[in-house]
Structure 1
Amino acid sequence: MEALSLISAALTRVVFMALLFFTSHPWPRTEAAKPAQELVKGFEAIPDSTVDSFQTLLADPDGNFSFGFLRVNRTRLSLAVIHRNLSDPVWVSDPTRSASWSGKTRLFFNGSLVITDRSSRVEWSTGTDGDRVVLRNDSNLQVEKTKPSQTVVWQSFDFPSNTLVENQNFTSAMTLVSPNGLYSMRLGNDFIGLYADDSHQMYWKHKALEAKAKIEDGSGPVHIRINPNGYLGMYQRGNTPVDVEAFNSFQRPTTGLLILRLEPDGNLRGYLWDGSQWALNYQAISDTCELPNPCGPYSLCTPGSGCSCIDKQTRPGPGFGGCTHSTQDQSDLCDGAPARFTVLRRNGVEVPFKELREHKTASSSEECEAFCEEKCECWGSVYNNGSGFCYLVNYPIHTMLGVADEGKVGYFKLREGVGKGKRWEVGSTVGIAFVCGTVLVLTVAMGFVGLRVWRRERRVSRILEEDGGLSPGPYKDLGSDSFNSIEMSRR
């Protein structure tokens, strides 16, 4: 026993010393690999099937921006630059195209940054002869030539998608496009314009005030740039702006990052990153009804009241397309054949952003309608009885404005057959429900009556059996004994 005690004590000391060693000398941990700071010739990458959203391939020196594979709709990918605290990318290689998220898609750098799909088809390329790829701390992705001197041969700042960042020049040769592809921002010779691309209609315009400098003919096109002091400046030559569009942070000391984005609803908004969150810092359009299509096709947006439908019978659903007469067909009404359409008319209607639209002069609403009636490309007209102005709508009907003035009359063509299905669906649903309800009530009633008759016949049968096995006959054959038996059976 003494020997066992000595052995036990020795084992205890060994275990204690081992624990002391491991707690005072931890094993070295494997650090996660840091993103590359540059890509050189020979670089190659494929999408990682375990990544759900973004696969980092390159990072800027400060660690705020990353370049890599952005997963789109689960099965597709785009090359993108993202900010670590922004859900949407600040740059996308080609918003109109994407490759598949699979092991057969690869990105490589051979002087050009190239992405190919499973059939080895080139999906996108910088088309350059550079030596390395770097990501600057302002989010600018660059392909550089390092010999004989360092020069930039390609940069993402020259190909913006829907976002501008501080000090990024936006020229008349560039276009911002909303993520859904419906809206765009372009520069004119002295203004910034927002356009609905399906109709080519300008819905917002900001003209240069030329307060500090004048735009000179022959001195080149204008460009715009976000100034860190909190404004969107328009320039022609030098650093003196010909126009200043102030943000909320204008002339306030800030150390954050400013960006400007064209959003899916068509609004142009600025945001400020203050180190902890993104704050709304600018909004080009403040009134919802002034947006290009806030309520959907064949709808009205009334300030203070919201959305409704032109036909007064249906309700706009969530997002676009809630009204009965919504259509995805964007072709003209003739489409190679004689025009076939029905008409909706509504008083108290006005075209949105009318100051940016062309108009005719008409003596009556009937004359205004006649301007549109025979034209295949015209989907409607709005007439102002007060001014005599006639506005033609040469694209499928989007959101109109609801106004109190009944003298403003809207005339809208509806492609024949559109909307009937939904009205039939609603009517048939109500009709079917009514018929089913009626059948159910009748079935229950008939079942109840049948049950009562069956119970009465069973009771009479039992009584007759107790009185000698007489079988029941017609009422006139039942003698007084039968009634006596019934009467006795109730005692």
Structure 2
Amino acid sequence: MASNRIHVLFLWLPFCVALAAEAAVEKSIWSGDLLSPPDSNTTNPSSWVSSSGHFAFGFYRHGNGHGYAIGIWLIAGTNETVVWTANRDDPPISSNSTLQLTVDGLLLKQGSDAQGQVYVASEPAGSASMLDSGNFVIYSQESSFFVVWQSFHHPTDTILGGQNLTILNQLVSSRSTSDRSTGHYYLAYQRDNNLVAYPVNSSSQPLDAYWASMDYFPYMIGVEQLSLDTKGNLCFIAPTQCLATNTHHQNKPQNTSSIYRATLDVDGNLRLYEHLFEDVEGSTITNSPSSSSLVHTLWQAFTDECQIKGFCGSNSFCSNIRGNARCQCYPGFVPYNTKTSYSNAMFLECKLNYTKDDCERSGGRNYLLYNTVSLEEMRWDDCPYWAKPMSMEACNKSCKEDCDCGAALYTNGQCNKYSLPVRYGRKVPNASDTGMALFKVPSGYVIGKNTTTSSPKNPNAIVNNQRGLILILASTLGSISFLCVVFVVSIFFIYRSQVHRFTKLSASSNLGFTEECSLRSFSFDELVKATSGFTEEVGRGSFGAVYRGTIGENSKRIAVKRIEKFVDEGEREFRAEITAISRTHHRNLVKLIGFCIEGSRKLLVYEYVSNGSLANLLFKTKKHLPWKERLKIALDVARGVQYLHEECEVRIVHCNLKPHNILMDELLTAKISDFGLARLSKPELSSIRPDKNEVRTGYLAPEWQKEALASVKADVFSYGIVLLEIVCRRRSIEVNVPSPEEVLLSSWAYHCFATEQLHKLVAYNEDEKQDMDWKTLERMVKVGLLCVQDDPSLRPSMRNVILMLEGWKDVPIPPSPSC
């Protein structure tokens, strides 16, 4: 990695020389110069414009019309194309703000509150310039030619002519054309020098990638950087391989100039644009009404947006009709947002239009509850949880009998079953590797004519309605014996009574479950029998004991949590847990199977995790734990926490993350438990207030002890303590230690790191010494120390924690946690 950085540094040297030459003819911005938003009651300008008049740096209107943002935009008549944004995920800036170049950098002041002061660039500054290249640069106090900061080194979603994308930065798409905050896709270099594009909220595994540079140039080696030159050539450097070459550069009309940009657009497609300007008598026309028509797309990574993974959200599929990609819900699904158009909506997220609670309780008669709806010429770029060669009829029956099967794809004689949600679906006409998609819908469910669209090129929906066939045969064969008629009618009324009983029980519980809730409702007697009268206790949670049991014909092992300390507040927590966990699904979270509510008896039924808690593995067993295994456990926990914070439908703050609440399965995969007892923050809020009675010594973030509002950064603090415990295999607070400075693990870890004595943190024998990975140890300790900072703003997000642990992102030197 160090050699790569040196290589990149030398690649930047010619560019820095060019900056100095260009700056000699640019307008200078001096220390003390101010900018204000256009609506402010001041005479300050709202932007600094380059000499050519093509680029401006300053305040522009935020996408929602409320407030402003700071950035760089390309001026083309009445149109403004934003190419860079500062602090893009910060809230909109008010109209009474100012941006000033000071000796300490670019300072944004919002109102008169000192806490509203933020440095857009915090480098000692003497002057600055908005260059004609679109690069905003700040020069040192000692020399007007020495650049201390430049926007080209911090791209957002765009690189301009003369700018490079290196292994040190990445492109992240915008949320929309008007909202420049972080969007749905990012493009970055991997450690193998492969430039790869992923959806932002994916697991960043090879299955999630939808574009990679090595697909174009598989034998490319050495340090790569993606470079866009001023002639419009988009190429990789070292070695030189071009994605796009501008063959029309020499054939431009006279008196015209071009500006080129490569943008990772909102839809995840990387495109190369040319903005053509007309010069008349040495001056550039930038206010022509037709200037917006002088923008050309020279190259794009995909002509079919359906190839971009995540273009359509969960449980929806993409189809390209006459060159226009559009998203539609699968049969039996409707959009989450009812205000969203049913089709033509990018990132469309869909949900089931019915409840499937009866599946688990049908007693092996699932095929009676469901029919199937089929879509032809479908492809799913996701992994099935079950695959086996069989006939179409057998695949159809197998999915209907399997409660975990939300849909199946029958391709080339093989049945692939998928659980919900279904991702990365698209229709590919006339392709050999497509198949027939099968979706379960309740018996009697009607697929309306307008469920998809009326377009003749939409996928053909084929309804396999066995119940309708039975009714037709029953009406045709009037000679069926009286006994068979009585038998069919009896089955109908038994099924109807069971549905009525379930509806009545749900209404009496008054829990207000949504239609998406798919948990099984157990009776108390069932759980008494399953646990042999609650005799085998395997642990204790925040609200009661946990018992082991078995249930079903296959003797499936379960863990039953019996709520013992139940009060009014506990009841609210219990309801929140059921609602939240029923909408979560992740390999690093303990799965909730069902619940029981009978008067004051309230129980939760989880999957059984066989290898106990992480606390037992770290503190009670003497088993050797290889460093690769420690890193894997740390990543498992981090991915589970990231899912709770960013990827599930409702943001969940765990509030009680510690090794006792992390369980290990038979493959030593870490699974987070007890997160259902955390309070849920509403979608419009970003923080919650902790319960004073829930004090967890050693894992509690400092802001909780000060009774301040606690955000997801409180979980990051707890994760940092857990990470240091995984590294050191000791508790966060130990009394029986050789010296007082070793009592608190975080302080002891920082002392060892600062004095370069990390070997003191781990105890190992000769066998473990051979397995010692000092680089992994140092990286894990640095990430852990970053997470346990007293100031929440200094703690990284869980996404960045994962990137740093995996080695995709450099780990900065952590300050003292208590500073």
Quick one: distance in 1 between partners of 2:108 and 2:164? 27
Q: Give the 3 Å change call, closer, same or farther, for CA 369–112 of structure 1 in structure 2.
A: farther
Asked if the contact 2:378/2:426 (under 8 Å) is kept, the reply is yes
1:102 aligns with 2:95: yes
Q: TM-score, normalised by structure 2?
A: 0.38
Where does structure 2 lack aligned partners over 5 or more consecutive residues?
1-25, 176-182, 278-290, 335-340, 361-368, 443-512, 518-819
Q: Which residue of 2 aligns with 1:409?
A: 437
SS of corresponding position for 1:207:
helix
1:386 is aligned to 412
The answer to whether structure 1 residue 309 and structure 2 residue 329 are counterparts is yes
Q: Which amino acid aligns with 1:290?
A: Q
Secondary structure of 2:147 counterpart: strand
Q: 1:151 Cα deviation (Å)?
A: 1.3
Q: Distance in 1 between matches of 2:344 and 2:132?
A: 40
Q: Which whole-Å CA distance do the structure 2 matches of 1:140 and 1:90 have between them?
A: 10
Distance 2:441 2:185 in 1: 24
Could you tell me whether the CA contact under 8 Å between 1:230 and 1:251 is conserved in 2? yes
- The reply on whether 1:325 has 2:354 as its aligned counterpart is no
Please list every run of 5 or more consecutive structure 1 residues that lacks an aligned counterpart in the other structure: 1-35, 328-332, 420-491
Equivalent residues in 2 for 1:149-228, closer than 5 Å: 150-180=145-175, 181-188=183-190, 189-200=192-203, 201-207=208-214, 209-210=216-217, 215-216=220-221, 219=222, 221-228=223-230
Q: 1:299 aligns with which of 316, 326, 339?
A: 316
1:417 partner amino acid: E
CA drift at 1:225: 0.6
Cα distance change on mapping 1:38 and 1:148 into 2, 3 Å: closer
SS of the aligned residue for 1:138 comes to coil
1:230 touches 1:252 (CA, 8 Å); kept in 2?
no
Q: Given residue 287 of structure 1, which amino acid in structure 2 is its aligned partner?
A: D
Going from structure 1 to structure 2, the CA distance change for 1:75 and 1:246 (only over 3 Å counts) comes to: same
| Cα pair 2:328 2:348 within 8 Å, conserved | no
Corresponding residue number in structure 2 for 1:47: 37
CA distance in 2, matches of 1:223, 1:413: 50
SS at match of 1:137: coil
The answer (yes or no) to whether the contact 1:67–1:82 under 8 Å persists in 2 is yes
2:264 alignment partner, one of 259, 262, 265 = 262
Q: CA deviation at 1:252?
A: 5.0
Q: What is the Cα deviation at residue 173 of structure 1? A: 2.3
Cα displacement string for residues 412-453 of structure 1 (whole angstroms, at most 9, x for unaligned residues): 89996149xxxxxxxxxxxxxxxxxxxxxxxxxxxxxxxxxx
Q: Which residue of 1 aligns with 2:139?
A: 144
The count of corresponding residues between Structure 1 and Structure 2 is 356
Q: Which residue of structure 2 aligns with residue 244 of structure 1?
A: 242
CA contact (8 A) 2:139 2:147 kept: yes
8 Å contact from structure 1 (residues 190, 208) kept in 2 = no
Amino acid of the structure 1 residue aligned with 2:146: T
Q: Is the 8 A contact 1:232 1:246 kept in 2?
A: yes
Question: Kindly tell me: are residues 312 and 56 of structure 1, through their superposed partners in 2, closer, same or farther at Cα, counting changes over 3 Å?
Answer: same
Larger RCO: 1 or 2 (CA < 8 Å, sep 6+) = 1
The alpha-carbon deviation at position 80 of structure 1 amounts to 0.8
Q: Secondary structure at the match of 2:168?
A: coil
**Residue 135 to residue 395, structure 1, CA distance change in 2 (3 Å):** farther
- Cα RMSD of the aligned pairs, angstroms, is 4.4
**Alignment partners' CA distance in 2, 1:367 and 1:151:** 72
How far off is 1:139 after superposition? 0.6
Give the secondary structure class of the aligned counterpart of 2:309: coil
* Cα shift readout 1:346-391 (whole Å, capped 9, x = no counterpart): 534677683x979975345589969x976xxxx9665343174848
Q: 1:65 aligns with which of 30, 52, 55?
A: 55
Instruction: Tell me how far apart the structure 1 counterparts of residues 370 and 100 of structure 2 sit (CA, whole Å).
Output: 54
- Provide closer, same or farther for how the CA distance between residues 303 and 90 of structure 1 changes in structure 2, counting only shifts above 3 A: closer
Say if 1:326 and 1:191 are closer, same or farther in 2 by CA, change over 3 A. Answer: farther
Q: Is the 8 A contact 1:231 1:247 kept in 2?
A: yes
Deviation string for 1:31-77 (max 9, x for gaps)?
xxxxx9222222333324269xx964312222211111112133322
Aligned to 1:453: none
Give the aligned partner of residue 109 of structure 2. 116
Equivalent runs, 1:462-477 vs 2, <5 Å: none
Q: Is the 8 A contact 1:295 1:316 kept in 2?
A: no
Deviations 1:300-344 (A, max 9, x none): 3334476543117868245247786389xxxxx9xxxx9xxx999
Write the distance in 1 (CA, Å) between the matches of 2:168 and 2:398.
38
Distance 2:333 2:420 in 1: 25
Structure 2 partner of 1:466: none
Compare the two structures and name the one with the higher helix fraction.
2
- The amino acid of 1:41's aligned partner reads S
Q: 1:209 to 1:273 in 2, by over 3 A?
A: same
Tell me if the contact between 2:389 and 2:413 (Cα under 8 Å) persists in the aligned partners: no
| Aligned AA (1:74) | G
What SS does the corresponding residue of 2:298 show, helix, strand or coil? strand
Structure 1 length-normalised TM: 0.60
- Point out the structure with max Rg over C-alpha: 1
Counterpart selection for 1:280 from 284, 293, 297: 297
For 1:352 and 1:162, the matched residues in 2 are separated by 30
SS in 2 for 1:157: helix
Partner Cα separation in structure 1 for residue 68 and residue 331 of structure 2: 42
Deviation, structure 1 residue 248: 6.0
Residue 182 (structure 1) shift: 1.1
Q: Using the alignment, how far apart are the partners of 1:294 and 1:208 within structure 2?
A: 20
Q: Distance in 2 between matches of 1:344 and 1:233?
A: 53
| 1:100, distance to aligned residue in structure 2 (A) | 2.4
| Distance change >3 Å, CA 108–CA 222, structure 1 → 2 | same
Deviates most, 104-113 or 178-187 = 104-113
- Structure 2 residue matching 1:178: 3-state secondary structure: strand
In 2: Cα distance, 1:126 partner to 1:161 partner = 15
SS in 2 for 1:245: strand
Q: Shift of the alpha carbon at 1:259?
A: 0.7
Report the residue type matching 2:28 in the other structure. Answer: E
Q: Say whether residues 1:92 and 2:58 are aligned partners.
A: no
Partner of residue 436, structure 1? none
Percent sequence identity is 17
Hey, what does 1:77 align to over in structure 2?
68
